[in-house]
Amino acid sequence: MLKEFKEFAMKGNVLDMAIGIVIGAAFAKIVSSFVADLLMPPLGMLMGKVDFTNWFVNLSGLAGGPSDFATLKAAKDAGAVTLNYGVFLNTVIDFTIVAFAIFLLVKQVNRLKRNEPAPPPAPPTHQEVLLTEIRDLLARR
């Protein structure tokens, strides 16, 4: 059983997958930082100095608890139940950027792959030869 596991773990596709997961996790951190630290601040400023991370609904206020908190951190520190749609928006933007970057990467890899030559056409069958001759005879009429 140990030998079988070793053979499985040493297969090229398993190692490729492990490398891909590690690189993907690092890439996701880079994209998250790009969105949170570089993209969202100017976008929030263009929208009237809005910080998307502080877009939330305080559900505790609906249940008779304190209703106003200036920031999401203040609401969480107070133990308020919140619906964090700003954080969700950041996550959706992260995903969109990651998906687009992967799309561009796959597109470039596919473009760099060598195109295999098309297989030669199959020789015509006896029936196809006869039908071609009949067509040519009818076209001469």
For 8-36, give the DSSP string. HHTSHHHHHHHHHHHHHHHHHHHHHHIII
Average pLDDT, integer, range 119-141: 89
Does 79 score more than 80 pLDDT? yes
Q: Does domain 2-50+84-116 have CATH number 1.10.1200.120?
A: yes
For range 114-137, the mean pLDDT: 87
Asked whether the whole model's pTM tops 0.85, one would answer: no
Statement: residue 71 has pLDDT above 70? yes
pLDDT of residue 62: 61
pLDDT score, position 98: 76
Tokens of 52: 């998307």
Higher-pLDDT residue of 88, 18: 88
- Which tokens is 67 given? 């209703």
Q: What is the mean pLDDT of residues 123-139?
A: 91
Closest alpha carbon to 81 in 59, 65, 66, 55? 59
Going from N- to C-terminal start, the domains of the chain cover 2-50+84-116
Q: Is the predicted pLDDT of residue 65 greater than 70, yes or no?
A: no
User: Which residue type sits at 48?
Assistant: G
Q: In the structure, what pLDDT confidence band is assigned to residue 64 with cuts at 50, 70 and 90?
A: low
Q: Supply the DSSP string of 36-103, one letter for each residue.
A: IIIIHHHHHHHTTS--GGG--EEHHHHTTS----SSHHHHHHTT--EE-HHHHHHHHHHHHHHHHHHH
**Stretch 67-96: mean pLDDT:** 85
